[in-house]
């Protein structure tokens, strides 16, 4: 996001705009809204900004609609309590944002599922999310890595479906799951993980990893797939990053991965359905010949490199500004 913010300014400057930047993590300063011909807002500031004739407003969305997002997390937390008898607090709730109802354009990074969560999906414009790191191309040793899968993500483990993936792999002992995140950031979830999965030989916790580290790159190259069962995403940047290493995506519908069809879609809506479907999918993938898995891995890596590089983001954002200027 930091790199994308800088790149937006560079592109706008080249298009002839003078650009002011407001840090959305700090208190909003007094803004003279009327002097701007273009406003790009990632929060709920368009709600209070006065209408200005000829002014173009963009809601820069990085996820699903806030109502869908928040409701989906609470539903996952409720389902988790029903399955495990443990109540956990929400970690990924977001403040109400009504900008999609006001903006001339709402941008999005994910697939069609994400687009349709917004109030006025006809005004929604796709951008290509960038990857933090694009590694040098390597051919996977499918014979050695075909049973290994990666879970890469940040906080909000129930929201992001890590519990679902863990429960699926617990009884799929012929397949290995590698977890790269900081589980200690959510102590209650971490205790549950240690109690339920600490003795599982096929589940390995590697802690938080920088995607630039050799240890992560070596691990990602040794995994045939990456798994994600999120309640609500806006393109799943962690999954896209794993795809840069040729990890075939196994994702559910609400992960909203663009290019989902080049991987495998985990069918189902409820956690129980997703757990069962993921187990079945692992068995199906295990029946796929090495040469076919290798080809699919190469397709995934090529797709990610073409559609989710920094160049791809720049091209998509330039296209948006050109669209605005040509209206």
Single out the residue of 267, 253, 261 nearest to residue 300, CA to CA.
261
Residue-wise pLDDT tens digits, 286-316? 999 999 999 999 999 999 999 999 999 999 9
Q: What is the mean pLDDT of residues 198-210?
A: 95
pLDDT of the residue at 191 = 97
pLDDT of the residue at 122 = 79
Residue-wise pLDDT tens digits, 245-256? 999 999 999 999
Single out the residue of 219, 161, 169, 229 nearest to residue 189, CA to CA.
161
The owner of tokens 């799951």 is 177
| Token pair for 256 | 């909203």
Confidence grade of residue 24 (pLDDT, cut at 50, 70, 90): confident
| Token pair for 87 | 């109540």
Q: For residues 294 and 179, what is the distance between their CA atoms, to the nearest angstrom?
A: 23
pLDDT of the residue at 133 = 85
pLDDT at 14 over 80: yes
Q: For residues 151 and 51, what is the distance between their CA atoms, to the nearest angstrom?
A: 44
Write b or e for each residue in 48-79: b if 16 or more Cβ atoms lie within 10 A of its Cβ, otherwise e: ebeeeeebbbbbbbbbbbbebbbebbeebbeb
pLDDT of the residue at 132 = 86
Integer-rounded Cα Rg, in Å, for the chain is 21
Question: Greatest CA separation found in the chain?
Answer: 64
pLDDT at 120 over 90: no
pLDDT of the residue at 277 = 97
Residue ranges and CATH numbers for the domains of the chain are 2-68+76-130+309-325 (no CATH), 142-307 (3.40.50.2000)
CB 64 within 8 Å of CB 47: no
Single out the residue of 136, 296, 281 nearest to residue 217, CA to CA.
136
pLDDT of the residue at 190 = 98
Mean pLDDT of the chain: 94
pLDDT of the residue at 67 = 97
Q: What is the mean pLDDT of residues 68-93?
A: 97
Q: What is the mean pLDDT of residues 24-45?
A: 90
């Amino acid at each position: 996001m930091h790199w994308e913010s800088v790149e937006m300014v560079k592109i706008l400057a080249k298009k002839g705009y003078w650009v002011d930047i407001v840090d959305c993590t700090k208190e909003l300063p007094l803004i003279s809204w009327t002097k701007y011909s273009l406003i790009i807002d990632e929060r709920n500031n368009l709600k209070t900004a006065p209408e200005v004739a000829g002014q173009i407003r963009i809601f820069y969305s990085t996820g699903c609609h806030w109502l869908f997002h928040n409701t989906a997390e609470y539903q996952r937390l409720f389902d988790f309590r029903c399955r495990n008898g443990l109540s956990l607090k929400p970690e990924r709730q977001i403040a109400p944002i009504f900008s999609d109802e006001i903006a001339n354009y709402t941008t999005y990074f994910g697939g069609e599922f994400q687009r349709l969560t917004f109030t006025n999906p006809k005004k929604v414009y796709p951008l290509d999310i960038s990857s933090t790191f694009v590694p040098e191309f390597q051919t996977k040793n499918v014979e050695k890595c075909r049973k290994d899968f990666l879970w890469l993500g940040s906080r909000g483990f129930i929201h992001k479906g890590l519990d679902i993936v863990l429960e699926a792999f617990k009884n799929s002992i012929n397949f290995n799951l590698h977890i790269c995140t900081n589980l200690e950031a959510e102590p209650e979830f971490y205790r549950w993980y240690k109690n339920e999965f600490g003795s599982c030989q096929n589940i390995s916790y590697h802690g938080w990893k920088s995607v630039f580290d050799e240890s992560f790159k070596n691990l990602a190259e040794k995994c045939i797939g990456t798994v994600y069962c999120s309640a609500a995403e806006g393109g799943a940047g962690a999954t896209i990053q794993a795809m840069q290493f040729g990890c075939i995506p196994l994702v559910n519908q609400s992960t909203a991965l663009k290019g989902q069809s080049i991987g495998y879609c985990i069918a189902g809506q409820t956690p129980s359905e997703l757990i069962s479907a993921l187990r079945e999918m692992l068995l199906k993938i295990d029946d796929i010949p090495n040469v076919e898995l290798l080809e699919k891995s190469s397709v995934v890596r090529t797709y990610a490199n073409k559609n989710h590089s920094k160049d791809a983001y720049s091209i998509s954002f330039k296209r948006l500004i050109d669209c605005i200027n040509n209206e």
